[in-house]
């Protein structure tokens, strides 16, 4: 087990003007579980495949342990990759699948047997060792793919959306299993997913990638509470953050920001006023998470708005309410016991701590 370091890693495919991966730098500590998240086509899988050695490096450096592996073949990098499709060898038994890599490396037979039995025990596959992949369920195949990685005891585990082919229930179960596995093995894991919930629940740290660029790296809590920019703010959290363009107005002794139609206004506290002063902007994008919109009038500083109810999604404990306020659409999460009907006008508020401000052009969070 060892650390993985990416230094200004860049990938450009032949015949493609844009960069698939643009100067991404990332340090993955020994034993850390890091998730690469981003929308599909953002370059996260490309990054993973470059670490694995399945894609060439256009520029930059990949370091595993303390050696640069740019020019090493995949087999010499001491990594294991769990494919999205599992990529099990259909003509081999579960035992054959899990022992294939060890056999190639000429590990003695009894050691292979011990390693496979051990992995099978961890993954609860002991009674399936003689079966072929076709005779297994999706969840079991997934575990065989994990087992194939575990037996090799690699420097780092790479996983490419390993849960995306499972149904929702199995996904939650396997998610916990992988987290437990990470805990147990203490292995360095790099996990690619487009599902921010997976990333939030499993990762020590998350790297958000968009259009080939690294947007932000941090713990799930950090990304949720202090997103670096509008993209990260919108990507992390479900339903995603509401964004409203606002205009900055000076009032006696402070600053107020107002939406275009005047349906929303915010009394900023001193910290936020100072942010806007420092940025020197006359417009700003306001962000507030649906779960932070309260169904009551504002008391003190913060946001207040009135909006009419368009759609109500009942989820049991609470409801996702889609609202329109002037020309803006918003989502709020309210207690399911609140009596609401479509067309109602609500007064919603948010405390000033729940408010995020972003630069109108660059999208960077104001500091």
Partner 1 sequence: MSQVPSVRERRTVGLLKRLRLSRAVVNVILGLVAVFWLVPTISLLVISLRPESLFGESGWWTVFTAPSQLTWGNYTTIFSQGFAAGGVLDSLTTSLEITIPVTILVALISSLAAYSLVFGSWRGRDWIFLVIVGLMVVPLQVALIPVVQLYREMGNLFGLNPYGTIPGVIIFHVAFGLPFGIFLMRNFLTGIPKDLLEAGRIEGAGEWKIFYSIVLPLALPAIASLAIFQFIWVWNDLLVALVFLGGNVHTPLTIFLYDQTRSLAANYWIVSTGAVVSIFVPLIVFFSFQRYFVRGVLAGAVK
Summarize as ranges the residues that interact with partner 1 (CB under 8 A).
Answer: 52-54, 73-75, 79-81, 83, 85-91, 100-101, 104-105, 132-136, 138, 141, 148, 152, 165
- For partner 1, the closer of residues 107 and 211 by Cβ is 107
φ, ψ of residue 346 in degrees (nearest 5): -110, 150
Which long-range contacts link 87-91 to residues 24+ away (Cβ below 8 Å)? 87/145, 88/133, 88/141, 88/144, 88/145, 88/148, 89/133, 90/132, 90/133, 90/134, 91/132
- Establish how many alpha carbons lie within 13 A of residue 338's alpha carbon, considering only the half-sphere containing its beta carbon: 25
Q: Indicate the residue among 152 and 205 with the shorter CB distance to partner 1.
A: 152
Smallest gap from residue 227 Cβ to partner 1 (A): 34
**Residue 153 burial (C-beta neighbours within 10 Å; 0-12, 13-18, 19+):** middle
Q: How far apart are CA 138 and CA 144, in angstroms?
A: 10
Nearer to partner 1, 53 or 290 (CB): 53
Enumerate the β-bridge partners of residue 249: 256
For partner 1, which is the closer residue by CB, 10 or 83? Answer: 83
CB of 37 to partner 1, least distance (A): 22
Smallest gap, in angstroms, from Cβ of residue 7 to partner 1? 22
Selection from 60, 62, 66, 84 nearest residue 74 by Cα: 62
Based on CB atoms, which residue is closest to partner 1, 189 or 279?
189
Query: CB of residue 91 vs partner 1: minimum separation in angstroms?
Result: 4
Residue whose C-alpha is closest to residue 353's, from 296, 231, 268: 268
Letter string b/e over residues 250-279, b meaning 16 or more CB atoms within 10 A of that residue's CB: eeeeebebebeeebbebbbbeebbebbeeb
Q: Is-contact 355 286, C-beta < 8 A?
A: yes
Residue among 152 and 175 whose Cβ is closer to partner 1:
152
Residue 158 CA to residue 164 CA, distance in Å, equals 15
CB 336 within 8 A of CB 318: yes
CB of 87 to partner 1, least distance (A): 4
- Contact (CB, 8 A) for 212 and 20: yes
Of 100 and 263, which CB lies nearer to partner 1 in the complex structure? 100
Helix (H, G, I), strand (E, B) or coil at 120: helix
- Minimum CB distance to partner 1 smaller for 100 or for 310: 100
Q: What's the count of helices (H) and strands (E) in the chain, helices before strands?
A: 9, 19
Nearest distance from C-beta of residue 85 to partner 1, angstroms:
4
- Distances in whole angstroms, Cα of residue 42 to Cα of each of 3, 38, 121, 268, 308: 24, 6, 37, 35, 36
Q: How far is the CB of 61 from partner 1 (least distance, A)?
A: 20
Q: Which is nearer to partner 1, 76 or 353 (CB)?
A: 76
Minimum distance of partner 1 from residue 75's CB (angstroms): 4
Q: Which residues contact 253 (CB under 8 A, 6 or more apart)?
A: none
Residue 105 CB, nearest distance to partner 1 (Å)? Answer: 6
């Amino acid at each position: 087990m060892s650390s993985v370091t990416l230094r200004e890693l860049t990938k450009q495919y032949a015949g493609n003007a844009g960069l698939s991966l643009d100067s991404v730098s990332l340090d993955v500590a020994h034993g850390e579980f890091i998730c690469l998240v981003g929308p599909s086509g953002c370059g996260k899988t490309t990054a993973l495949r470059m670490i694995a050695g399945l894609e060439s490096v256009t520029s930059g450096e990949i370091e595993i342990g303390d050696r640069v592996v740019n020019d090493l073949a995949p087999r010499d990098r001491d990594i294991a990759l769990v494919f999205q499709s599992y990529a099990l060898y259909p003509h081999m038994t579960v035992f054959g699948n899990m022992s294939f890599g060890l056999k190639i490396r000429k590990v003695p037979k009894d050691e292979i047997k011990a390693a496979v039995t051990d992995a099978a025990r961890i993954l609860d596959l002991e009674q399936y060792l003689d079966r072929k992949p076709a005779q297994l369920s999706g969840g079991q195949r997934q575990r065989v793919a994990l087992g194939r990685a575990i037996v090799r005891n690699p420097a780092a585990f790479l996983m490419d959306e390993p849960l995306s082919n499972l149904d929702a229930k199995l996904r939650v179960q396997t998610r916990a299993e992988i987290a437990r596995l990470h805990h147990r093995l203490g292995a360095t894991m790099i996990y690619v997913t487009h599902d921010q919930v997976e990333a939030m629940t499993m990762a020590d740290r998350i790297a958000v990638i968009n259009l080939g660029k690294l947007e932000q790296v941090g713990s799930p809590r950090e990304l949720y509470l202090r997103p670096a920019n509008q993209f990260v703010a919108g990507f992390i959290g479900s339903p995603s953050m509401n964004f409203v363009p606002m205009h900055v107005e000076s009032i006696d002794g402070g600053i107020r920001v107002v939406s275009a139609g005047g349906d929303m206004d915010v009394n900023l506290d001193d910290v936020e006023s100072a942010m806007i002063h420092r940025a020197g902007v006359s417009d700003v994008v306001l962000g507030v998470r649906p779960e932070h919109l309260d169904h009551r009038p504002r008391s003190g500083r913060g946001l207040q708005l009135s909006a009419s109810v368009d759609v109500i999604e009942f989820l049991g404990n609470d409801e996702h309410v889609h609202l329109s306020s002037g020309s803006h659409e918003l989502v709020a999460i309210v207690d399911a016991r609140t009596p609401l009907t479509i067309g109602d006008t609500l007064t919603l508020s948010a405390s000033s701590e729940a408010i995020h401000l972003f630069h109108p052009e660059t999208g960077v969070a104001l500091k």
